[in-house]
Amino acid sequence: MSSGSSNSKEKEKARVSRTSLILWHAHQNDAAAVRKLLQEDPSLVNATDYDNRTPLHVASLHGWIDVANCLLEFGADVNAQDRWKNTPLADAEGSKKSNVIELLKSKGGLSYGQTGSHFEPRAVPPPLPNKCDWEIDPSELDFSSSARIGKGSFGEILKAHWRGTPVAVKRILPSLSEDRMVIQDFRHEVNLLVKLRHPNIVQFLGAVTDRKPLMLITEYLRGGDLHQYLKDKGSLSPATAINFSMDIARGMAYLHNEPNVIIHRDLKPRNVLLVNSSADHLKVGDFGLSKLITVQSSHDVYKMTGETGSYRYMAPEVFKHRRYEKKVDVYSFAMILYEMLEGEPPFASYEPYDGAKHAAEGHRPPFRAKGYIPELQELTQQCWAADMNQRPHFIEILKRLEKIKENLPTDHHWHLFAS
């Protein structure tokens, strides 16, 4: 390799590292560190992550006035637009940060994107042109005995009936049905689910995309989610935890298959569903935050949105706004395995955000449960390694779980662990 191309690669690497740093310091409300970086390299003021979010977007969302002032002083683009066409002012308005809203307006900030999109009558095309085979007529959905089984900022998930079959319906709130960002996320999830076929992935059945409210219809799983199951049962025996883990790992190995890798980005007990009340089969669900990525090489790493997913199960590199790849899901898997064996969430005594911060500082929850046999401890530690390159792939995790399962003592020996 020529020294010229080697030097340019090194420069690019350093640039990526500084981009991560300024986004991280903006997120941490560290105005002094942001100023120092900008004094060294003023061009970082408009650095962007994978979703085109600038440091000013981050500061505006959190309401960090000193950081925002510093960025504007160094010439930050007050109307920079992220992947969803949001400006910093749209972010500040969305999170009701009045001090930053005033500052941005005084600097010529425009509210465009998430907030402004409500006023744009622009039609959004349906998720797929050949959608006739899965487009569902709303009149076929029977909500007469429906029950709400989930709720989010976008809307709600209801148990309903479709042609006599119980189904789960994700229904977008009418007030958000004109919001371009919400519609884009909805289309993204539909486009993703249409492609998925696996026994350990929640099955997509259809969607309502050409009239309001927008709805996404999947199979209904009677057993509820793993979060509630663990809340009711407490710690699981190693045999049960291994069986559950293998189901999750099978679904994830399918999603991570190259070249078209799907990174879940929000793997947690609430998004793992039990097929029935006997809990003999699990499926991975909720792909609202997933990313579909075409991998050019096995070493590809992507700069994606920091802080995507749920803090308690979030990989340190995501929390720190660093470059990351599919191994973020392996970290989340380790946290779920831990919760199944310990009977309590990782860092249970911390608030979720503080737990994620603690993990990003290098800490990991302690092993206390007697059922946490050494082989499972070793696997967990490798899956939550700080260096994502040290974490195994799900195919390897599956092989190791199968081996551990083969060597487990028979049921009548469980008093050794469970006492």
Feature table: binding site for ATP: 170
CB atoms within 10 A of CB 262: 21
Gap between the terminal Cα atoms of the chain:
61
Q: Which two tokens stand for residue 419?
A: 């006492």
Alpha helices in 107-225 (DSSP H): 180-194
In angstroms, rounded to a whole number, what is the distance separating the alpha carbons of residues 114 and 92?
A: 11
List, as residue ranges, the binding site.
170
What are phi and psi for residue 86, nearest 5 degrees?
-80, 140
The Cα–Cα gap between 202 and 193 comes to 9
Q: Among 266, 300, 387, 411, which one carries the catalytic annotation?
A: 266
| Of 30, 88, 28, 21, residue with least CA distance to 54 | 88
Q: What is the C-alpha separation between 73 and 35, in angstroms, rounded? A: 10
Local structure of 260: helix, strand or coil: strand
Calpha distance 68→78 (Å, rounded)? 10
Best CA proximity match to 326, nearest among 353, 300, 288: 300
CA distance 48 to 325: 17
Amino acid identity at 10: E
User: Which H helix or E strand runs over 263?
Assistant: strand 260-263
Give, as one character, the DSSP assignment of residue 212: S
Name the one residue in this structure whose structure tokens are 């059945």. Answer: 205
Phi-psi label, residue 363: left if phi above 0, alpha if psi -120 to 50, beta otherwise: beta
350 token code pair: 């911390």
Does the active-site annotation cover 232? no
> Quick one: DSSP state of residue 19?
H
| Residues assigned a catalytic role | 266
